[in-house]
Amino acid sequence: MPTFSLLTFNCYGVPTPGTSGRLKLLAHHLNHLDMSAVCLQEVQSNRHRRLFERECGSYSSRAYEPFIHAPKGGLLTLSRSPIVHSEFNLFTERGLWYTPALADWILHKGILITRIDWEHMPVVLINTHLTANYMGDWSRTNPFAKHEYNQLRQLAACVQAQPSDALVLVCGDFNIPRGSWMYEAFLEESGLTDPLAGNLQPTLRPRSILPDRYIMPIDFALWRAPQTHTVDVQSRFQFEEVIPHNNKHVELSDHYAVELLVNITSARRLSS
């Protein structure tokens, strides 16, 4: 039976003098990966969005919401299957503009929903990037955590609205740690499954300038099986190693990528 493969990656596309060269190297690797689809976050300029479109030619379809300086939310989805429809939902709760969350306001963070037709099965890809928690405090009383939880509730409602016969894959940089109270509540409200549940390996690269409380597993690739089929799902991290390039060793991002492999095992016999 067929396998749908997905890679989600916060590509750290903040415009700096070295960003274009690093993203071009990333695009080269993506173009040669055997992925059905790729969901990118932090594509923070239209120049870099066009770079991915140009350099990732093996993905014939792409989805994003056009905006002034970058795709809205910094979100870009690449697919090797035809895209049937895409839409962008802006987060209704976007944090406090007079805090460092102003950067999230400017990027217009939200939810990019892409529906594709794959192997005669509807697949819904939901790509997102939540507001950052600038205090590294995910307690119930923290203001950033409250904003993140409201965004997760909007995301859960979006998942629940998808058709039952579709394979639904939700991914991105959630900026909340696996195992937190918000994580548990979101899985329950959305009906999604985390194939890496219990894995507390960080997806943010350690940095000497960052306190340990920020180095957490915050990137996710979650799934909901179609009502019509049973699936077997596997997941693992990608791009953990540095890449040799021009006599240097390059980190493709300050995050690790998460890969999801969904094997369609059989069709379900539905009761009449």
Shortest CA distance to 246 belongs to which of 11, 22, 47, 12? Answer: 22
> In this predicted structure, what is the pLDDT of residue 98?
66
Q: Do the domain assignments include residue 153?
A: yes
What digits encode the pLDDT tens for the residues 37-77? 999 999 999 999 999 999 999 999 999 999 999 999 999 99
**pLDDT per position as a tens digit, 101-110:** 777 878 899 9
**Which 3 state secondary structure label does DSSP give 22?**
helix
CA distance 11 to 268: 37
Query: Is 40 within the bounds of a domain?
Result: yes
Residue 106 is predicted with a pLDDT of 82
pLDDT for 1 equals 67
Q: How confident is the model at residue 246 (pLDDT cuts 50, 70, 90)?
A: confident
Residue 215: which pLDDT band, with cuts at 50, 70 and 90? Answer: very high
- Domain with residue 117: its CATH number is 3.60.10.10
Contact yes or no for 131/101 (Cβ under 8 A): yes
Residue 17 counted as domain residue = yes
Output the average pLDDT for the chain.
Answer: 93
- Percentage of the chain beyond pLDDT 90 is 81
Identify the residue whose tokens are 């102003």: 102
Q: Does 67 reside within a domain?
A: yes
Binning pLDDT at 50, 70 and 90, where does residue 269 land?
low
Q: Does residue 272 fall inside a structural domain?
A: no
Residue 187: inside a domain: yes
- pLDDT confidence of 3, banded at 50, 70, 90? very high
Instruction: Report helix angle 181-190 to 143-160, nearest 10.
Output: 20
pLDDT tens readout for residues 187-211:
999 999 999 999 999 999 987 677 7
Average pLDDT over residues 67-91: 97
Tell me what pLDDT residue 214 has.
Answer: 84
Q: What is the dihedral of CA 178, 113, 159, 139, to 10 degrees?
A: 30
* Residue pLDDT, tens place only, 106-142: 889 999 999 999 998 999 999 999 999 999 999 999 9
User: 48-82 burial, b if ≥16 CB within 10 A, otherwise e?
Assistant: bbebbeebbeebebbbbbeeeebbbbbbbbbbbbe
Q: Is residue 109 part of a domain?
A: yes
pLDDT range class, residue 243, cuts 50, 70, 90:
confident
pTM, rounded to two decimals: 0.96
For residue 183, the enclosing domain spans 3-267
Residue 173's identity, in one-letter code, is: D
Structure confidence at residue 251 as a pLDDT band (50, 70, 90): very high
Report the number of distinct structural domains present in the chain.
1
Confidence (pLDDT) at 184: 98
Establish if 99 belongs to a structural domain.
yes
- Give me the pLDDT at residue 102, please: 78
